[in-house]
Structure 1
Amino acid sequence: MKHTQILRTILIASQIIMLNKAYSQNKSTQSWPIADLPVVETPVFKTDTFNIVKYGAVNDGVTLNTVSINKAIADCSNKGGGVVLVPTGFWVTGPVELKSNVNLHLQSDAVLSFTRDLSQYKLVETNWEGLAAVRNQSPISGTNLVNVAITGQGIVDGNGDAWRMVKKEKLTDSQWKKLLASGGVLSEDKKIWYPTESSFKGSKIKGAGVIAPGKTVKDYEEIKDFLRPNLLVLTKCNKVLLEGVTFQNSPAWNLHPLMCENLTVRGITAKNPWYAQNGDGIDVESCKNVLIENSVFDVGDDGICIKSGRDEQGRRRGMPTENVLVRNCTVYHAHGGFVVGSEMSGGARNLFVTDCTFIGTDIGLRFKTTRGRGGVVEKVYIRNIGMKDIVGEAILFDMYYEAKDPVPLTGEQREAPKVVKLPVTEATPQFKDFHVSNVVCDGAEKAIFVRGLPEMNINNIYLENMTLQAKKGVEMEEAGQIQLKNIRLITRETKPVVNILNSNSLYFQGLTFNDGSDLLFSVNGDRSANITVSDTNTKNVKSVAEFNFGANKKALKIK
């Protein structure tokens, strides 16, 4: 108990020191509620060591070591816990089940390689994208555990290429030809490759794997190969540590802590091919008290993602992801650097992100949801973010998420969603009370994009102290109570710099933009109102504003 209290005290002190340093280095007037920062308890283990070699494990890249590794883990846990050692070498295994009080430690140059023999993974009832579902057993899993860790400098490889479908548009011609030569099955339009006939059959079933009334696990055998597992799933665990290890090549999501408490992720690397379908880095779902720091993500889907269940099931679970601190992380390729959604039906709050870098991600800060989700995402604090070569938007809030790649593929045509006002119900999602400051972006398609619902605007968003270089500037639809302070926009397109549609109570203070810009504001829609601009030099712009589609000139006031 004393040891745990000391760790907690050290963690709180380090957080306060870090934040005070951040405050002194910038001019932001926004403050973080330090009292709400998460206090994360870390697991403590006995020093007893259980070497998998003593349980019969063989380092030859061929022998299946499933039994040996699981015996070592079970023995360690039964004897009060300690360290299960995976020595340097190449160890092939089937599914590994973690136990309480066990630290699975991979030495440097140790590779834990999960078998490509899909028959080794049994179908189980689990959770997939926020819904109760049948999937293949995860390569590493654990449920209702206390004090559990995976540490070291080794590599966990999920052999995801044995499971994943691949889109033709995401490969070069030579890569595509090589993939076809390996076997597999093509979709009818010849644009998607599937590793097996079973995988292809599953792709044709809407909601494949979602547990239906009266169905048993056996009913899903015919499409087993389609039901790809997440590499690591820890469910309802307390005091979890992931440190130092590289997790890569996952069949679906890489790391999936679900309904866990006191989760520490430190110094890990999550890697996937950029084309990896559903190849997220980490998805923190319905967890409480989380620290993610000093880690690197280079993956096929979202990098660092916050979730809390999907639609009615997520609302019924009613477990928000809360008290999360993300700091000193780097995200390379990913659909989003730091992401919330789209499965956020249980809500999310008290999310803190600081001192992170996104390089080459599709979107930098990505907040996505859609009708039917419900849930409230609020009290989000983000600062000190650097971005480079962002393919889409630097900052995006979107309530019309369509479960598609954020950037259209070559030749792909997408229509804007139909805007229809619907009644507000428990299924109406909400984004509010976001504070984002000190952001630098060197290159993006669009600097800021905000798109709410007509019945539920995105509101109470505070954006401050940013320099954003992008092709396009700011676009806001169905937004309210948005404050932009000291935002510098360096854009290639300047007609307009800011595009507004049916939004109200927007405040621009200290906005700067290219000299000689063609049009500063395009105000559209009869519901646009109360747009205030102050401390902004409008002398060097060719046209200050235009008003279209019923917008009233009185909607815009420049002080």
Structure 2
Amino acid sequence: MTKHAFFLIVIGSLLTRFSATAQTTPTYSWTNLPKIAQPTFRRDTTNIIAFGAKPDGVSLNTQAINKAISTCSQKGGGVVLVPAGIWLTGPIVLKSNVNLHLKKAATLLFTTDKNQYALVEGVYEGKRAARNQSPVSGTNLANVAITGQGILDGNGDVWRAVHKSQLTESQWKEKVESGGVLKDDGKTWYPSEQFKKASTENRSMLLAPGKTPQDFADMKDFLRPNLVVLTNCKKVLLEGVTFQNSPAWCLHPLMCQDLTLRNVTTKNPEYAHNGDGMDIESCKNFLIEGCTLDVGDDAICIKSGKDEEGRKRGMPTENGIIRNNTVYNGHGGFVVGSEMSGGARYLFVSNCTFMGTDKGLRFKSVRGRGGVVEHIYAKDIFMKNIAQEAIFFDMYYFVKFATDGERDERPVVNEGTPVFRNMRFENIVCTGAKKGIFVRGLPEMAIQTIAMANMVLETEKGVELVDASGIRLDNINLLSTSTKPVINVTNSSNLTFNNIQYPANTDVLFSIDGERSKAINVTNTDTSKARTKTEFTHGAVEKSLLLTTTK
């Protein structure tokens, strides 16, 4: 065989493999949404009372509940019934083919005795870490559910620190009188001296090579667990139940497939540090619908691992439907990042309401993460009283800028460079926010190819685009009260503004900043209502912007 013939065979083989892969990879759209398989269970019912559980709020039912779950699973599965009552318990471990069903007025109350929670290997922000055992956990399961109309309460207040500024005077007084210790400046309450020491010394919980969870026994109290952690499970259903008062994140499905969260409520106090509602990490095929969230951190959050560990895992969060949800309090209504190093793609967000969140649609990352976030679609999103930005992209998450306000602009692209691209948002209304749209990429990697259409944004400020490319705004009504400028562009290119509406007598409509700003097109927009149509600063030139307007 000649070298040329061998080369052709190899190329043919690669093309065949590529073609097969392309044919089996679905292309999703609003008319062809991902399909999520549902778990099924036998009708056999096991009552936890039959195993000695007592609903008196005093008796510790850990052994009885876990025995009921194990026995049910061993017999082929079915329903484990939690009747009305207060069931005090330690950690519960779920098993395959079991539906843990809480009747209305049933509360699983997790004990404040931290000795009941073993030190285990877990995950913290996408990295291996020592944690206390989660109140509810399950690993490598199939067909598993928590359903009903009851409550799972994590007793999170005994685990969390809290700052004085986050509480009223009466709440702070009650907290101090409950025990615990104060920071030396008297402004932070800690659950224990052990917690205070680990926190003030900024000790790490990450499991470095050669370390085991038991090596962290001297800081056990600091290692707050997530309320529900399900790892590498298939066909998972959480439905109808209220999950509240978590020590850290509320719901954390990790590397799960065919996941459904339906009509779930998650509640954490506003002051709950890391009190996320749902963190969907490296999961495939999932549905979040009809849920209500009122939490202390991000509400519905998409993650896929952090930095090198996340890239090595290489499992994007993908094929997700998020619809008909309501978020009250939270740092963001729908959030991607910042731990998104494995990527995220094909996510469909619709018919959601955000009432009083810090941000609405929130996308965040930073140099070093890597990962590609793409094919995110959102429509029919309604927001009210957003504290900061309605739509927010930022590649500088938790970066402290120099005192002169200038950013690190090293134009370096490597495996740690995050990419956000190819998204469409439409039919969005926001009444009340500090800023309507904020997009800030990296000089070396712009946030790119984002289309936004049919929006009414009643905000203090309109639009700010920094290091962005291929952004298109169509039919956007910017009812901004700060009219200088309505739209601010910095070092961005290939932008289209079509049919932009804004208040009459605006001081400045467009402010173009930076010598890298170019190819900015404005069409079908009446610029005559502005006192100043355009201004150019810091090296920006007039030819960077082309006005094809109605007046």
- TM-score tier by shorter-chain length is over 0.9
> How far apart are residue 403 of structure 1 and its match?
8.1
The reply on whether 1:462 has 2:458 as its aligned counterpart is: no
Whether the 8 Å CA contact 1:419–1:454 is kept in 2: the answer is no
> Quick one: distance in 1 between partners of 2:460 and 2:211?
51
| Mapping for residues 130-149 of structure 1, pairs under 5 Å | 130-149=126-145
> Quick one: distance in 1 between partners of 2:404 and 2:424?
31
> Quick one: distance in 1 between partners of 2:476 and 2:28?
20
The reply on whether 1:325 has 2:314 as its aligned counterpart is: no
> How far apart are residue 264 of structure 1 and its match?
0.5
Q: Among 528, 547, 551, which residue is 1:539 paired with?
A: 528
Whether the 8 Å CA contact 1:230–1:252 is kept in 2: the answer is yes
> Quick one: distance in 2 between partners of 1:143 and 1:240?
12
> Quick one: distance in 2 between partners of 1:494 and 1:557?
21
The reply on whether 1:438 has 2:427 as its aligned counterpart is: yes
Amino acid aligned to 2:131: R
> How far apart are residue 513 of structure 1 and its match?
0.2
- Cα deviations by residue, 1:341-398 (Å, 9 ceiling, x for unpaired): 0000000000000000000000000000001100000000100000000000000000
Q: Which residue of 2 aligns with 1:100?
A: 96
Q: Which residue of 2 aligns with 1:27?
A: none
Q: Which residue of 2 aligns with 1:202?
A: 198
> How far apart are residue 418 of structure 1 and its match?
1.8
Q: Which residue of 2 aligns with 1:26?
A: none
| Mapping for residues 192-271 of structure 1, pairs under 5 Å | 192-206=188-202, 208-271=204-267
| Mapping for residues 61-80 of structure 1, pairs under 5 Å | 61-80=57-76
Q: Which residue of 2 aligns with 1:298?
A: 294
> How far apart are residue 171 of structure 1 and its match?
1.1
Partner SS, residue 439 of structure 1: strand
The reply on whether 1:516 has 2:505 as its aligned counterpart is: yes
> Quick one: distance in 2 between partners of 1:291 and 1:469?
31
Q: Among 352, 373, 380, which residue is 1:377 paired with?
A: 373
> Quick one: distance in 1 between partners of 2:535 and 2:444?
26
Q: Which runs of 5+ in 2 are unaligned?
A: 1-26
> Quick one: distance in 1 between partners of 2:534 and 2:189?
50
Amino acid aligned to 1:243: E
Q: Provide closer, same or farther for how the CA distance between residues 415 and 40 of structure 1 changes in structure 2, counting only shifts above 3 A.
A: farther
- Cα deviations by residue, 1:454-502 (Å, 9 ceiling, x for unpaired): 0110000000000000011101111111000000000110000011111
> Quick one: distance in 1 between partners of 2:481 and 2:222?
44
The reply on whether 1:476 has 2:465 as its aligned counterpart is: yes
Q: Which residue of 2 aligns with 1:500?
A: 489
> Quick one: distance in 1 between partners of 2:159 and 2:199?
13
> Quick one: distance in 2 between partners of 1:293 and 1:550?
48
> Quick one: distance in 1 between partners of 2:189 and 2:225?
18
Q: Which residue of 2 aligns with 1:23?
A: none
The reply on whether 1:529 has 2:518 as its aligned counterpart is: yes
TM-score of the superposed pair, with normalisation by structure 2: 0.93
> How far apart are residue 215 of structure 1 and its match?
1.5
Q: Provide closer, same or farther for how the CA distance between residues 46 and 169 of structure 1 changes in structure 2, counting only shifts above 3 A.
A: same
The reply on whether 1:485 has 2:481 as its aligned counterpart is: no
The reply on whether 1:345 has 2:341 as its aligned counterpart is: yes
Q: Provide closer, same or farther for how the CA distance between residues 286 and 100 of structure 1 changes in structure 2, counting only shifts above 3 A.
A: same
Whether the 8 Å CA contact 1:421–1:453 is kept in 2: the answer is no
Q: Among 360, 372, 393, which residue is 1:397 paired with?
A: 393
Q: Which residue of 2 aligns with 1:282?
A: 278
The reply on whether 1:177 has 2:166 as its aligned counterpart is: no
Whether the 8 Å CA contact 2:423–2:450 is kept in 1: the answer is yes
Say which is worse superposed, 182-191 or 305-314, in terms of deviation. Answer: 182-191
Q: Percent identity?
A: 59
Whether the 8 Å CA contact 2:266–2:295 is kept in 1: the answer is yes
Whether the 8 Å CA contact 1:400–1:417 is kept in 2: the answer is no
Amino acid aligned to 1:425: N
Whether the 8 Å CA contact 1:230–1:254 is kept in 2: the answer is yes
Whether the 8 Å CA contact 2:30–2:348 is kept in 1: the answer is no
Dislocated runs of 4+, deviation >6 Å: none
> How far apart are residue 187 of structure 1 and its match?
2.4
Partner SS, residue 488 of structure 2: strand
The reply on whether 1:554 has 2:550 as its aligned counterpart is: no
TM-score of the superposed pair, with normalisation by structure 1: 0.91
Q: Provide closer, same or farther for how the CA distance between residues 319 and 32 of structure 1 changes in structure 2, counting only shifts above 3 A.
A: closer
> Quick one: distance in 1 between partners of 2:183 and 2:428?
42
Partner SS, residue 491 of structure 1: coil
Whether the 8 Å CA contact 2:28–2:346 is kept in 1: the answer is no
Q: CA RMSD in A?
A: 1.5
Amino acid aligned to 2:341: S
> Quick one: distance in 2 between partners of 1:440 and 1:32?
25
> How far apart are residue 189 of structure 1 and its match?
3.4
Task: Report the count of equivalent residues.
Answer: 521
